[in-house]
Structure 1
Amino acid sequence: MLYVFILVDLSLALFEEPAVLHVPTWATMLVELLCLLVFTIRLVHYAKVIPRDKFWKDPKNICIIVILMVGGAS
């Protein structure tokens, strides 16, 4: 399920300006907000469930933290 949301988040570049397929800005923002919410909930859940040393060694967690930092800044 996580990979589906990552792909959806990355595929938003196909629909945002200057894209060939134009979708209203509010729709892409809503989908991105949903993806960021799922990433945040997953990250918080994993941080509480798995040991801290394994949490920081998992590349998916690092990738999600970077996505949240970039998505939150944009």
Structure 2
Amino acid sequence: MANISYEILETIGEISSGAKGWTKELNLISWNNNAPKFDLRDWSPEHEKMGKGITLTNDELRALRDILNEMNL
């Protein structure tokens, strides 16, 4: 497996938490020293392990916001 580096630049919010302390979070992360992207995924309590997630650019996050705003929740 390739060595992946990351730096959490900003924690935007916690969406949920599980019984074992893992949390689903939206963060601004720089992956492999690249430009930061918004990132939604599960994290272990000390952020040393992560689950699968998605990364979004500013434009993609705006598009997702617009879609969610149009939903009738």
TM-score (norm 2): 0.28
Q: Looking at secondary structure, tell me which structure has more strand per residue.
A: 2
Q: Looking at secondary structure, tell me which structure has more helix per residue.
A: 1
TM-score (norm 1): 0.28
